[in-house]
Amino acid sequence: MDKKELEEKIIGQFKQDEQMMILVFAQWCINHDLEPAELYQRAYPTQAENPSLKQALDLTVPKEEAGEIHDETLLGVLSLFGNEDLAFVVTEEMEKLKKRK
């Protein structure tokens, strides 16, 4: 494998992992009756609609069919990809959810 092929493989793997992170975020939102696009927009108000988020939403399942996604798991995944702004918004929502219980 030459250098260019290796770079393409690494980039491809990163994009696949990033898509999985977006799916975890979207499913966590669905599981907590939150709107993923609204949270994303709050975190990144200057960005246009995110096509990766739209794609991930097509892959989510109703919360009754979904497995639990722990808050710490979501925050860890967001942090891994440098989504601190989104993690901040998610943390705010987590606090609101705790107060409702």
- The Cα 85–Cα 68 span in angstroms is 23
Sign of CA dihedral 37, 87, 33, 63: positive
Classify residue 36 by burial, with Cβ atoms within 10 Å: 0-12, 13-18, 19+.
Answer: buried
Give this prediction's pTM: 0.89
> 20-31 pLDDT, tens per residue?
999 999 999 999
> 80-100 pLDDT, tens per residue?
999 999 999 999 999 999 998
At 63 the three-state DSSP class reads coil
